[in-house]
Structure 1
Amino acid sequence: MQEVTYDFSGRIAVVTGGANGIGAQIASQYLDAGAKVVIWDLHPPKNKRKNAIFKEVDVSDLSQVKNATKDTINNWGKIDFLSHNAGYAGPTENTINYDTEAWIKTVQVNLIGTYIVAKTVAPCMVSEGYGRIINMASLAGKEGTPYASAYSAAKAGVIGFTKSLAKELAETNVRVNCVAPAAVKTNILDQMKPDFVETMIAKSPMKRLGDAREVADIVMWLSSSACSFNTGAVFDMSGGRATY
């Protein structure tokens, strides 16, 4: 199969959660396409490449996100792409026994963080007359995964927020979409019980985990100028599991 390539020369991409997993793969493919990448994460990437800058950022902290946005603009002049992947799975537990503080933290990182980052970065894109925001949701946000009520609720919120923001920016040249993967082979699965992961695999008609490159490939298209009439959309990556 022929590999699809993109030319993002001159583009500046912010990748939250870009030190590991799906975010790291997205950052790598942006770099391969010629973009300069700014990784916002709590921990630095193990192998930072040329044309990539790391900034320690807690996406649920408004002041940190504002400072990171200001520094990014000062260093690079603009932000063309925002690939928002920073997330936290939270405990695998039934709702009745779920620790309340852990539930709130899961929503704070996954949903409130999405709002904070988009609210801060979107005006920069509007002023430049171009931008692509791609939020990382989850199939859990569409189906409601048992024993992951906080994560499911947060990701459902990400989907709703993406649609709302997309409509607000529809008459600008800023497109806002989200991707909803099922289980993807990344380190975040280490936060979950093994039997829980096996259950997710069993639900997939393809009977396998997704690959981070498969997710990054669709993010590349959503970042491109070819994505001109798609906004407020949810792109499933579920191996056939998604039912709507």
Structure 2
Amino acid sequence: MKQVIVVTGATGGIGQLLVSGLLNEDRHIVCVGRRASALSDLVEKLKLENGLSDEHLSFQVADMSSPVDVELAASKIGSSMRRIDLWVNNVGVNNHNAMGASWEVASDAWYEEVQLNLFTAYLGSRAAINLMKSQQHGYVVNLGGGGADTPKPFGSAYGAAKAAIVKFTEALNHECVEENIGIRAFCFNPGFIRNPRTEALVKSEVAKKYMPNLEKVMESGRMSDIEDSVFLLETILSGELDHLGGRYFSADLFRKQWEEGIQPEACLLRVSK
């Protein structure tokens, strides 16, 4: 039986890279996004490049910020797939109009940034767990990011949303344990990965003003590698991290942590005493 993986925001920069990295003959990946044409192009491109078929790739259209869309997509996925092994809530945005001093950013732009990052993670997690409950097994993975463990000045909406996603994931995992549901939730930061979106961000005037270090990082070549994120997801799928459910990982550091032995308390956001 093929493993079934759902990746939301699949046509985005990191989303496409995750789908490509996780794809193999023993899996079926469902790509979720807002635009049918972009999803179809992605699926056909990956099938052609990897010599695969409809047995390995499909897509569902959904706006992950819409409860109705998410429930409809989840229902279709549940009907077509026998099980879901991993659901990755990759949707996230770092909108230019939500950058700046918090008292100067328009309130609706600030709120939208939180909604498109935090609320989409909630809706995706809710749908995934309701699909997985009957099988008593599966993994929900949310993406954290900049601002989750250190302040993100001039990007407070994004940073606050990512920090909230980390704590939401931890609470979600506790709920599954207390309700005796065999599902585990994880959160991780993929790092700063080169893709068309990050390149556009770095070149933007707002990034040059508020995040000038990004251009220096990109020029130095010291960027994150998507293979580290894929390795983390593969390790989660193996079941070897089940005892660390609810934890928050940095993909950049995970391999070393894994080799040296992960300290459970080091992967939780806590207020320093």
Between structures 1 and 2, the one with greater helix share: 2
CA spacing shift, 1:112–1:86, aligned 2, 3 Å? same
Query: Which of 223, 226, 236 is the equivalent residue of 1:209?
Result: 223
Q: CA deviation at 1:207?
A: 6.9
> In structure 1, how many angstroms separate the alpha carbons of the residues matched to 2:139 and 2:171?
15
Q: CA contact under 8 A between 1:90 and 1:103: conserved in structure 2?
A: no
Q: Which moved more, 1:101-110 or 1:183-192?
A: 183-192
If the length of structure 2 is used for normalisation, what is the TM-score? 0.77
Q: CA deviation at 1:105?
A: 1.1
Q: CA contact under 8 A between 1:186 and 1:212: conserved in structure 2?
A: no
SS at match of 1:97: coil
> In structure 1, how many angstroms separate the alpha carbons of the residues matched to 2:225 and 2:215?
13
Instruction: Deviation per CA, 1:102-146: give whole Å up to 9, x if none.
Output: 111111110011111111220221211110111111132211211
Q: CA deviation at 1:177?
A: 0.5
Query: Which of 25, 45, 54 is the equivalent residue of 2:17?
Result: 25
Q: Which moved more, 1:166-175 or 1:146-155?
A: 166-175
Written as runs of structure 1 = structure 2, the 5 A alignment for 1:3-14 is 10-14=2-6
Aligned to 1:41: 33
SS at match of 1:55: strand
- In the alignment, structure 2 segments of 5+ residues that lack a partner are 48-52, 255-265
> Which amino acid counterpart does residue 201 of structure 2 have in structure 1?
Q
Q: CA contact under 8 A between 2:189 and 2:249: conserved in structure 1?
A: yes
If the length of structure 1 is used for normalisation, what is the TM-score? 0.86
RMSD: 2.6
**1:98 is aligned to 2:105:** yes
> In structure 2, how many angstroms separate the alpha carbons of the residues matched to 1:17 and 1:135?
12
Higher relative contact order (CA 8 A, sep 6+): 1
> Which amino acid counterpart does residue 18 of structure 1 have in structure 2?
A
Q: CA deviation at 1:203?
A: 7.8
Instruction: Deviation per CA, 1:186-219: give whole Å up to 9, x if none.
Output: 2332235353555147689x97111222222212
Greater Rg over alpha carbons, structure: 2
Q: CA deviation at 1:64?
A: 0.4
Written as runs of structure 1 = structure 2, the 5 A alignment for 1:75-224 is 75-91=80-96, 92-170=99-177, 171-189=180-198, 190-192=200-202, 193=204, 194-195=207-208, 198-200=212-214, 208-224=222-238
Q: CA contact under 8 A between 2:225 and 2:252: conserved in structure 1?
A: no
**1:226 is aligned to 2:240:** yes
Q: Which moved more, 1:36-45 or 1:81-90?
A: 36-45
Aligned to 2:260: none
> In structure 1, how many angstroms separate the alpha carbons of the residues matched to 2:215 and 2:251?
13
Instruction: Deviation per CA, 1:158-205: give whole Å up to 9, x if none.
Output: 00100000111124321100102332212332235353555147689x
SS at match of 2:242: coil
Count how many residue pairs are aligned between Structure 1 and Structure 2: 234
Q: CA contact under 8 A between 1:176 and 1:232: conserved in structure 2?
A: yes
Q: CA contact under 8 A between 1:22 and 1:215: conserved in structure 2?
A: no
> In structure 2, how many angstroms separate the alpha carbons of the residues matched to 1:123 and 1:111?
19
